[in-house]
Structures are given as C-alpha cells and as structure tokens.
C-alpha cells in the first residue's frame, strides 16, 4: 500500500530538468509521476498545500558519520537516519571510520541491511581506502564496489604516504570510483586542537596550520591529475585550498582543450570536486574562544579571510554543501578543549544554516541554487540516484519553508549528538516534510 | 560567581590594589584575616606537579584561617579516569567552599568553573594562563616602581608554551606597559594582540626597564623545535653581556623554576637587580588576595 500525494502550489526547482517555477507534483507508487501546472487531484490522493514552500529533489549529504558499528553510544543508523530526514536529507553517505572500519563487503552489506530496517533516509557507504583505515594496505576495491560502496575515503585518518595514495588512486581510477579525501598533513597538526593563528596563540592551544590542509590538497590533486582519478576534496576550510582547486580546474580545462562547462542545468562533474560545510561558511576560529568544545572540529574553523573566500566562491567553484555530521556523546565534549573529540552535529541545522548564510550576505539563496548545492550536484558527484524530480524516479522530495525562522535547540535534536556551535541561533529556512520513495518520513510538527 | 580564570577577568585590576594592601600588612605583621573565613575548606586540585604555587596557596589558606585540602592527581580517583566534571562536582558535594585547579590542559579551569557550584581559581591551565602568577608579577613591579605606565618589559624564552607569558601580557598591557615577547622563531607566536614580537634579543631588550625570562624546557630541544641548547644559550640567555642593551637599572624577573645557566646565568639571577626571590615572596600576598576574592567576592 503506497501513499499517493499531490503537492500543490509549491515552487518546484530542479536544475537537471530546467524547472524553476510554481508547479504541482504528483506521487504514486513511490515514484514521481507528473510535474506540471494546475494538476487536478485524483481519487485516493492526499493533497498537500505547498503554497510558499519549495519543492526540491531530496537533499543529499555526502559526508556524515553514523558511528555504526562500534560507537552506537554516539549515534546509530536509526537516530542518524531520523536526524537526516528531519534535516530534509533523503540520502546520506556515511564515512567508514567506524569500529571496525568499513573496509569489508560483509560490513557494507550489514550497514545496508540495518539502514533498510531502521533508517528513514537512504544510506550509502563510502568505504575505507585502506584496511583498518591504517593508511598502508589497499582494500579490496572490486569487492567493496560490488557490495555497494559509492566511493572510497580516508576521512578522519588521512593517508600520509603519497605512495599508498597513488596506488589507491590508480585502482580507483580504473573502477571510475571517486576517491574522497580529508586533506591533512599530520606531521603539521599533531596534537593540535584548532586553527593555528592569533586566536590559538592567545589561548595557548596547539594549532593546526592551514598549510597542513593545503599541502595534501596539492598532493592529492596532482596525483588525481596524473592518474585521471576522480578526486573529491572534503570540507574545504582554507582560502588557499580553494585556490588550489581552482588551479587544478583551470589545468584540467587547459589540458583537455575544452571550455569550462557553463554551470547551467548541465552539470559536468569535474575531475577534482570539493565540498564546503556550513560551519566553515558561517564561523571563524573566534568561535573557539572560551574553550568552547562545540567549535572544535577537523578541519578547524579558520580565519575570516578563509571564511569569506569560501563564501565568495560557494556558488561558482564549490560543488556541494556537506555537513560532516560527527556526533559525540555529551560527556566526551565536556572535557577540556584539548581532550575533547573533534566534530559537531550538522544534519538538522545544515539547511537553515545555508539559507541563513545567504541572508547574512544579503544574497538570499534561491530554490535552484539550494537544489544544485544540496541535491543535484552531490548526486552526480557520487553517482547516486536522485538529485532530480524527473518523472519515473523514486519520489525523494524535500519540502522547505524558506521563510520560517526557528531557534536551534540541541535538546530537541533527533541525533544523539548535542554539540553544535549554532545552539541558540535563530535560523531562517526549515524542512517542512521529507519524502523518501514516496513515503513521508518526516513532517514538521 | 567570583571565579578567577584569567588575567583578562574584570576583577583582576581590583585585585592588584588589594594585593598591595595585603603585602604591606604582611610586612608589618598587621595582617588579620576576616572571621568569615574561619572553618571554610578549599580544595587544591593539582593535576600537574607544582612547588611554589601549591605552597603559596596552602600558606595563604592558613593565613586566612582556611583548611586547605591538597589533592594530587596521582593519589586520587583522577588516575581511575574520573572526568573533570565528576571530580569537581564531587568536591562541591563534599562541601568545599572554593576550588583551586592546576591542570595540563588549556581551558581546564573553565570546564571546572562551568560545573562547580563554588568559585574556581585557575592555578595554571596548560599553556593558557596562570593569573595568580601574573598578580604576583604585577605586584612585584608595582612595589618596585609605583607606576608601570610607559615602561618597557621584554618577556624572553619559550613564549609559545608559557601560561605565565599569556597572563602577563593581559596584566601588563592593561597596566599601560610596552610589552615585548622574544623567542626563537619556532617558539614565538606569529602575532599576539597588543604586544610586539621579535626573535631578536637585542631588539627586545633595547631600552627595557624589566626583563622576564622563562624556563626553557628540555622537551623543546628534544621535540626538534630548537637547534640545541648551546645555540639557545648563545642567542637568548639573559646575562650581563645582553643586558647592556637594556636600561642600566633593568629589573630581572623569572617565574621559576630556574634552569641556571640556560635561560639566565648565575650572576644575573643573583644580582641586585634580580627580583626573583621577591616574586616568590609576593606569591603569598597574591594568593591570599585571590582566595579572599573567591570566598568573599572582595
């Protein structure tokens, strides 16, 4: 028994189909069957008045930590999946730094089975690049791909050896699988807790310099160019990091002799793509003042110069927004700054943060821009279904009220994590309902 | 809650005035503790070894008629992995009236203050701050000069890892001094609000009215931050030869413990211009003042 819906009078934005206007959407048998103006209700349909709402292809977050297996006290597939749905995400990609690491086909199948049972949102796995994420032994990429891995990553344990990364990329290039990297030269960041700069100097806290990130972006970018491997750079935090990405793009275009693809509805996946997280677009290392562990994550919050450079290029050079949702238990975040773990939650605040970011810049984001950054482009980058409302596709849809103002109250989150630097913020833009495969998995009370 | 976590705290300037008063009363043997302190108990929570700070706080507690209970990390539940929150809340439940905390992590005293139901005094948190040492040093300079305004001080040594340097930056700039931080490039923050930084000792000492030299820890050499002890001594040791750049009556301070022959030579440490032992002595007045503030709110 599948639900039948008619989403009426909303603003439909779908960059892939070139839709951007007031239209109705019909959902039957779990699929989108029709998008058009003035659709008439049919028998058995539930009509939802979407006046004033955006009707977007379901949001996709390619960077979350769901902590299963092994650290369910921080998060599990059920709580993480519900947090995703509440944040408007119909599909998330979980990172492999679990215990044990997601480096075997059996574990991937177990995650898929569990997610199917308990998570309202779709969950794909980004599998480990090396066995145990130890940065030495290559994983069985062929078997992991067959078991459903959508990409391979060293997130949280960046591969230090260029030789190992080169071998991994050589293999993944052959499989046409994206290599997803957390860029950090750890010889420069050892025992660091925040950005190295004026604020860390005043706090006496060991810093993690921006150049540690830039170095590995450069290294991984050069390797990707050499091998023709799809590289996705996670959570850019530095201005120089983005400049390097821009450089690689111009190099790619110069070498291929093709003009840079216009970013209209045809989105061409670049060889080297990148994501930005809402916290790096909204905050700087000043947020760490008074040793606030809810501002401690990796890569760390950087300077205003970095924040502004990323912001100025979000719509032109950054491929997608991803949360790096990294929940930890409250008792872990209550430790002294240097002893607290790295990471904050983000699934339930990302949409509001991004829309609020636009308002803060006096350049409110429109529905099409949000659909690109949070649905279409992440889908294409990771070869995921979705990212479009094309009839015939599974009905993964997010209804958004772009005007709604709400206060961030972590105690009301669905995630087990509570640590966010946005606690108490007034955000504008809120998920009203989330549909996955035609099922309404979240509805704002 | 009258916590003292940083020399940036609003209460800090008022504490200087009080410390001077306490100092004179101690000198004249007229110091009398208020009866409100009688029977109160404070916990001295030391996650890191300390001699002078611990002794000064214990002695200050006795002067005030308080019962100090010293807890060393090695001999408590802390070695069993108890969190700061739980330790602090336990001590508050045990009826402590104030907590003094020394911890190897920056911001630990802020965590303690967040969970404590009684005042918390920071007795040094990692490389962050050591406000009662800054109070001691400020008192020492105040007693020597009366007015600090416009005077130049060079703080020389492992600035990057020094909580004493950080607290003194706030305290001494607030007093209107010209503060210079001087260290080898690898131990010098690239910039620091409100002060001048240099790796050139003669520039830092040029016309200085006071120099505070910091302990150079051996770990820094082993950690590859410095080429070696010999090179450090050659370029950064405070001695008669370098002091020729400073004012002739330049005062010498050191928060201790001293590595004689490393950051300072014997002759300079023992010289008439050295206030090093005075600093130790003034540490008592500073801690009495801090405890009074915490328990009484001044």
Report the chain B residue with the minimal C-alpha distance to residue A199.
Answer: B192
Question: How, if at all, do strands A194-195 and A207-208 pair?
Answer: parallel
Q: What is the DSSP letter of A206?
A: P
Nearest CB partner across the interface for B107, out of A201, A331, A337: A337
Nearest CB partner across the interface for A337, out of B106, B115, B162: B106
Chain B nearest CA to A83, separation (Å): 28
Phi, psi (degrees; rounded to nearest 5) at A122: -70, 145
User: Which pLDDT score, from 0 to 100, does residue A212 have?
Assistant: 98
Whether the predicted pLDDT of A259 surpasses 60: no
Q: What is the DSSP letter of B11?
A: T
Q: What is the mean pLDDT of residues B268-278?
A: 96
Chain A nearest CA to B180, separation (Å): 15
Q: Is there a contact between A52 and A404 (Cβ–Cβ < 8 Å)?
A: no
What separation, in Å, do the N-terminal and C-terminal C-alpha atoms of chain A show?
A: 24
Nearest CB partner across the interface for B110, out of A202, A204, A291: A291
pLDDT band at B297 (very low <50, low <70, confident <90, very high): low
Chain A nearest CA to B94, separation (Å): 22
The 10s digit of each residue's pLDDT in A15-33 is 999 999 999 999 999 999 9
Q: What is the mean pLDDT of residues B7-27?
A: 96
Q: What is the pTM of this model?
A: 0.94
The candidate with the shortest Cα–Cα distance to A220, out of A154, A138, A269, is A154
Q: What is the DSSP letter of A205?
A: P
Residues of B in contact with A205 (CB under 8 A): 106-107, 126-128
pLDDT band at A1 (very low <50, low <70, confident <90, very high): very low
Chain A nearest CA to B270, separation (Å): 31
pLDDT band at B49 (very low <50, low <70, confident <90, very high): confident
Chain B nearest CA to A148, separation (Å): 41
Whether the predicted pLDDT of A278 surpasses 60: yes
- Max Cα–Cα distance, chain B, nearest Å: 56
Q: What is the mean pLDDT of chain A?
A: 96
Q: What is the dihedral of CA B160, B166, B170, B171, to 10 degrees?
A: -130
Q: Is B126 on the interface with A (CB under 8 A)?
A: yes
The predicted complex's ipTM stands at: 0.92
Whether the predicted pLDDT of A264 surpasses 50: no
Residues of A in contact with B128 (CB under 8 A): 203-205
Q: Is B188 on the interface with A (CB under 8 A)?
A: no
Whether the predicted pLDDT of A263 surpasses 80: no
**Preceding amide of B257 cis, omega within 30:** yes
Residues of A in contact with B191 (CB under 8 A): 198, 201
Chain A nearest CA to B155, separation (Å): 15
Asked if A204 and B106 come within 8 Å (Cβ–Cβ), the reply is yes
Query: What residues form DSSP beta bridges with A122?
Result: A91
Q: What is the dihedral of CA B92, B96, B97, B99, to 10 degrees?
A: -80
Angle subtended by helix axes B276-296 and B12-27, to nearest 10: 120
Residues of A carrying an active site annotation? 324
Q: What is the mean pLDDT of residues A54-67?
A: 98
Report the chain A residue with the minimal C-alpha distance to residue B112.
Answer: A336
* B161 labelled catalytic: no
Whether the predicted pLDDT of A5 surpasses 80: yes
Query: What residues form DSSP beta bridges with B72?
Result: B46
Count of Cβ atoms closer than 10 Å to residue A115 Cβ: 23
The 10s digit of each residue's pLDDT in B63-109 is 999 999 999 887 777 777 889 999 999 999 999 999 999 999 999 99
Whether the predicted pLDDT of B121 surpasses 50: yes
Report the chain B residue with the minimal C-alpha distance to residue A200.
Answer: B189
The percentage of residues in chain B with a pLDDT greater than 70, rounded to a whole number, is 98
Q: Is B194 on the interface with A (CB under 8 A)?
A: no
Which range has the worst mean pLDDT, A48-57, A120-129, A197-206, A257-266?
Answer: A257-266
The 10s digit of each residue's pLDDT in A311-342 is 999 999 999 999 999 999 999 999 999 999 99
C-alpha pair distances (Å), A209 with each of A203, A214, A275, A338, B251: 15, 9, 20, 16, 37
Nearest CB partner across the interface for A204, out of B110, B163, B193: B163
pLDDT band at B296 (very low <50, low <70, confident <90, very high): confident
Whether the predicted pLDDT of B138 surpasses 90: yes
Asked if B108 and A336 come within 8 Å (Cβ–Cβ), the reply is yes
Asked if A338 and B83 come within 8 Å (Cβ–Cβ), the reply is no
Question: Which residue of A190, A286, A333, A336 to mutate against B (max B Cβ within 10 Å)?
Answer: A336
Q: Is B107 on the interface with A (CB under 8 A)?
A: yes
Distance (Å, rounded) from C-alpha A165 to C-alpha A218?
Answer: 13
Q: What is the DSSP letter of B52?
A: H
Distance (Å, rounded) from C-alpha B294 to C-alpha B291?
Answer: 5
User: Which pLDDT score, from 0 to 100, does residue A255 have?
Assistant: 84
Angle subtended by helix axes A210-227 and A162-175, to nearest 10: 50
pLDDT band at A240 (very low <50, low <70, confident <90, very high): very high
Distance (Å, rounded) from C-alpha A181 to C-alpha B277?
Answer: 55
Residues of A in contact with B83 (CB under 8 A): 331, 334-335
Structure tokens at A141: 């990429």
Q: What is the mean pLDDT of residues B10-18?
A: 94
Q: What is the DSSP letter of B262?
A: T
Asked if A337 and B193 come within 8 Å (Cβ–Cβ), the reply is no
Question: How, if at all, do strands A54-57 and A59-64 pair?
Answer: unpaired
Whether the predicted pLDDT of B224 surpasses 90: no
Whether the predicted pLDDT of A286 surpasses 90: yes
**Preceding amide of A299 cis, omega within 30:** yes
Whether the predicted pLDDT of B265 surpasses 80: yes
Asked if B128 and A334 come within 8 Å (Cβ–Cβ), the reply is no
Structure tokens at A314: 């979000």
Nearest CB partner across the interface for A198, out of B103, B129, B191: B191
Residues of B in contact with A197 (CB under 8 A): 190
Whether the predicted pLDDT of B264 surpasses 70: yes
Distance (Å, rounded) from C-alpha B160 to C-alpha B166?
Answer: 9
The candidate with the shortest Cα–Cα distance to B163, out of A292, A392, A205, is A205
* B130 labelled catalytic: yes
Distance (Å, rounded) from C-alpha B117 to C-alpha B132?
Answer: 21
| Residue whose pair of structure tokens reads 């010209």 in the numeric block | B178
Asked if A336 and B106 come within 8 Å (Cβ–Cβ), the reply is yes
Q: Which residue in the list B3, B53, B63, B161 is annotated as catalytic?
A: B53
Asked if A336 and B129 come within 8 Å (Cβ–Cβ), the reply is no
Cα A321 to chain centroid, rounded = 5
Whether the predicted pLDDT of B46 surpasses 70: yes
Q: Is there a contact between A205 and A300 (Cβ–Cβ < 8 Å)?
A: no
pLDDT band at A258 (very low <50, low <70, confident <90, very high): low
């Amino acid at each position: 028994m599948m639900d039948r819906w008619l989403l009426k009078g909303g603003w439909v934005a779908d960059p892939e189909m070139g839709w951007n206007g007031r239209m109705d959407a019909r959902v039957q048998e779990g699929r989108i069957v029709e998008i058009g103006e003035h659709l008439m209700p049919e028998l058995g349909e539930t009509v939802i008045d979407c006046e004033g709402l955006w009707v977007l292809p379901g949001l996709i977050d390619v960077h979350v930590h769901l902590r299963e297996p092994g650290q369910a006290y921080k998060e599990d597939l059920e709580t993480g999946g519900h947090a995703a749905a509440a944040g408007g995400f119909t599909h998330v990609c979980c990172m492999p730094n679990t215990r044990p690491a997601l480096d075997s086909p059996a574990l991937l199948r177990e995650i898929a089975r569990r997610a199917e049972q308990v998570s309202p949102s779709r969950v794909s796995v980004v599998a480990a690049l090396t066995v145990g994420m130890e940065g030495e032994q290559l994983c069985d990429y062929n078997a992991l791909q067959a078991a459903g891995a959508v990409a391979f990553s060293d997130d949280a344990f960046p591969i230090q050896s260029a030789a190992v990364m080169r071998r991994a990329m050589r293999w993944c290039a052959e499989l046409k699988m994206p290599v997803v990297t957390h860029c950090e030269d750890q010889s420069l960041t050892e025992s660091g807790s925040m950005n190295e700069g004026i604020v860390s100097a005043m706090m006496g806290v060991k810093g993690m310099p921006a150049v540690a990130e830039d170095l590995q972006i450069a290294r991984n970018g050069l390797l990707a160019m050499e091998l023709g491997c799809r590289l996705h750079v996670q959570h850019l935090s530095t201005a120089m990091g983005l400049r390097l990405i821009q450089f690689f793009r111009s190099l790619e275009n110069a070498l291929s002799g093709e003009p840079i693809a216009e970013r209209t509805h045809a989105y061409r996946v670049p060889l080297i793509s990148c994501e930005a997280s809402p916290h790096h677009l909204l905050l700087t290392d000043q947020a760490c003042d008074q040793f606030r562990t809810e501002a401690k994550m990796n890569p760390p919050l950087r300077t205003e110069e970095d924040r502004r450079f990323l912001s100025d290029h979000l719509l032109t050079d950054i491929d997608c927004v991803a949360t790096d949702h990294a929940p930890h238990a409250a008792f872990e975040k209550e430790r002294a700054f240097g002893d607290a773990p790295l990471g904050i939650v983000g699934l339930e605040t990302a949409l509001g943060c991004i829309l609020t970011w636009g308002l803060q810049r006096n350049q409110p984001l429109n529905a099409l821009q949000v659909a690109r950054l949070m649905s279409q482009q992440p889908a294409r980058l990771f070869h995921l279904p979705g990212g479009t409302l094309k009839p015939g596709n599974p009905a993964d849809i997010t209804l958004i009220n772009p005007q709604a103002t709400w206060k961030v109250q972590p105690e009301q989150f669905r995630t087990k994590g509570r640590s966010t630097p946005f606690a108490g913020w007034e955000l504008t833009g809120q998920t009203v309902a989330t549909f996955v495969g035609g099922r309404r998995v979240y509805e704002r009370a | 809650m009258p916590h003292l976590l940083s020399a940036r705290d609003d209460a800090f300037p008022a504490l200087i005035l009080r410390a001077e008063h306490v100092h004179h009363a101690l000198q004249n043997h007229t110091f009398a503790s208020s009866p409100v302190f009688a029977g109160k108990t404070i916990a001295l929570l030391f996650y890191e070894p300390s001699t002078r700070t611990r002794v000064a706080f214990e002695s200050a507690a006795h002067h005030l008629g308080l019962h100090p209970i010293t807890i060393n990390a090695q001999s408590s539940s802390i070695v069993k992995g108890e969190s700061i929150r739980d330790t602090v809340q336990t001590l508050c439940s045990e009826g402590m009236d104030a907590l003094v905390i020394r911890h190897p992590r920056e911001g630990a005293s802020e965590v303690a203050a967040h969970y404590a139901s009684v005042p918390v005094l920071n007795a040094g948190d990692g490389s962050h701050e050591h406000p009662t040492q800054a109070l001691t040093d400020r008192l020492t300079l105040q007693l020597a000069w009366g007015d600090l305004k416009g005077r130049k001080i060079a703080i020389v040594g492992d600035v990057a890892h020094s909580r004493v340097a950080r607290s003194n930056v706030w305290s001494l700039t607030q007093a209107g001094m010209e503060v210079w931080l001087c260290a080898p490039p690898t131990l010098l923050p690239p910039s620091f609000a409100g002060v001048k930084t240099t790796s050139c000792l003669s520039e830092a000492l040029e016309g200085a009215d006071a120099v505070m030299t910091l302990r150079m820890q051996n770990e820094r050499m082993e950690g590859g931050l410095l080429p070696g002890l010999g090179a450090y001594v050659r370029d950064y040791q405070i001695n008669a030869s370098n002091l020729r750049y400073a004012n002739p009556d330049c005062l010498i301070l050191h928060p201790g413990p001293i590595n004689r022959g490393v950051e300072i030579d014997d002759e300079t440490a023992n010289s008439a211009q050295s206030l090093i032992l005075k600093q130790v002595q003034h540490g008592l007045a500073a801690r009495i003042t801090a405890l009074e503030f915490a328990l009484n709110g001044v």
